Amino acid sequence: MLSVYLDFAIGLALAFLLLSLLVSGINEGLVRLFSVRSKFLWAYLRDTLDGGLPPGHARVLGTFARLVQRLCRLPVIGRIGRRVFRDFLPGQARSRLPISVAGVFLKFPFTGDPRPVFRDEPAPREIPTTGSVTDAFHARIQQIDHDKGGRTAISQIPPERFGVAIMELAMGHGGVPGLLTRLREQGSPLFRPLQSVWESAAEDLDAFRVGVERWFDGEMQRLSMLYRRYVRWVVAAIGLVVTLVFTVDALEYGKELLKDDARRAVVAALADTAPERLASLREACAASPGNADTYACVTEVLSSPAFVRVFGNAPLSLSVAENGTTSLTWNGGAWWERVTTPEHWPGFLLTFVALLFGASFWWDVLRRITGLRPKITPAE
């Protein structure tokens, strides 16, 4: 009996692990396709070095923006709409980073790219004293970079390199006071942090550089937390799509796992003594009246465990014939029937909630169930 529940737990954990890996893979593919990490970093840097977007800045297609504004004027759903679509409403200067749920999905893929233009050349000798502070900063670190759609691909800046780049900008302005003067005149949000660090360093350049590095390291930690919070929304959306595409009913899958164990137990106990008592397996073949050979059907049932069948309910399924040929089958009608059947909705909800825990959680669960241990390095 213990082995039955052990197989049941392993089957559930393995299915959720594979689905979670699929969700993580799709998310990573979208992140790389739209360069989300790099855009997230440079959106923060432009907000910090140059300031937020001016009022009325075009953030998305005009038709969509007008539709959102009309939606938010409605008395009933206007309050919810203003919270969900806050990124696309007219008003004061706003951050380039997403500030609403809709902004998480629409801002970086479909609005202006905050990344600087890629330049295939070393850092210039002269430092400009006018123009965008972000572009001047990027010029100090552009030597180690590669082109991605005509924009920089830098998605991570070590605090030490940030501190050195700020020192380079300061030397180009005749010292830290000159840089602070430019930041104050341009209304850069970076002015206050650098001024505080400069005063606390008592005009010591080494202490100033170390203070800038520590400040930037703290900012990157906060930015990483914000990024992970926004990624959860994307992972939740992808998990919902995967659940509905494969129509994975966790409750139905659990029942199928228990049936598989029962069928194996029947075969092991009765195959050699009383083949006529395999009624429970013959019932599984009742839905296939064209199969005259009952035991061939039994073999097919046993060779298609619940773990395989759980992925066979997608609109487009791949099957392999006995001769090794593969074929694609369209199951749109059956798929739509499963999606619209209320009896499956609790199982869909359970699968969706399970995918929110992530692949690392289900791998840890599977490792604990099976007794696998992590690899121990010689240092340990």
Q: For the chain, what are the domain ranges?
A: 2-21+249-310+341-370, 36-52+105-246, 53-94
Percent of the chain with pLDDT strictly greater than 70: 70
Q: What are the CA-CA distances from residue 89 to residues 14, 23, 79 (Å)?
A: 44, 31, 13
Least confident of 27-41, 140-154, 209-223, 322-336: 322-336
β-strand partners of 151: 117, 148
Q: Is the pLDDT of residue 281 over 80?
A: no
CB atoms within 10 A of CB 157: 16
Encode pLDDT of 185-204 as tens digits. Answer: 999 999 999 999 999 999 89
Is residue 284 within 8 A of residue 301, CB to CB? The reply is yes
Classify residue 199 by burial, with Cβ atoms within 10 Å: 0-12, 13-18, 19+.
Answer: exposed
Residue 376: pLDDT band with limits 50, 70, 90: low
Average pLDDT (45-58) is 78
Q: What is the pLDDT of residues 74-120, one digit of tens each?
A: 665 666 656 666 666 655 557 788 877 777 777 776 667 889 999 88
Tokens 């910090």 sit on residue = 48
With 60 as the cut, is the pLDDT of residue 232 above it? yes
Query: CA 97 to CA 119: how far, in whole Å?
Result: 24
Q: CA dihedral in degrees (71, 44, 50, 124; nearest 10)?
A: -140
Highest mean pLDDT among 81-90, 173-182, 264-273, 281-290: 173-182
Q: Summarize the confidence of residues 331-352 as an average pLDDT.
A: 92
Tokens 């992808």, residue located: 238
Report how far residue 206's alpha carbon sits from residue 209's, in angstroms, rounded to the nearest whole number: 5
Beta-sheet strands, E only, within the chain: 147-148, 151-152, 316-320, 326-330
What is the model's pTM? 0.77
Contact 40, 95 (CB under 8 A): no
In the predicted model, is pLDDT for residue 60 greater than 60? no
Give the range among 106-120, 236-250, 296-310, 320-334 with minimum mean pLDDT.
Answer: 296-310
* Contact between residue 263 and residue 302 where contact means Cβ atoms under 8 Å apart: yes
pLDDT beyond 60 at 121: yes
Which of the listed ranges 43-47, 70-74, 94-98, 121-125 does the model predict with the highest average pLDDT?
Answer: 43-47
pLDDT at residue 154, rounded to an integer = 93
Mean pLDDT for the stretch of residues 280-308: 54
Confidence of residue 253 (pLDDT cuts 50, 70, 90): confident
